[in-house]
Amino acid sequence: MLSTASCGIAFNRNKAAVEVSSTGIKTIDSSSQLITESAFGEPAEQVADNLTNMLGAAIKTEENHACGLTFITWSNGLEIANRDGKFINWSVWRPEENSVDIATPDGRGHGTTLVELRQISETTSVPVGDWNEFETDDGYRGILNANNERGTVVVMRSGEEIYDGYQLIGDCSRISFEE
Rounded to 10 degrees, the C-alpha dihedral 165/93/145/126 comes to -30
Percent of the chain's residues with pLDDT above 90:
44
Rounded Cα distance between 152 and 146, Å, is 7
Domain edges within the chain: 4-170
Determine whether domain 4-170 maps to CATH 2.60.460: yes
Average pLDDT, the chain: 81
The more confidently predicted of residues 131 and 82 is 82
pLDDT of 94 higher than 80: no
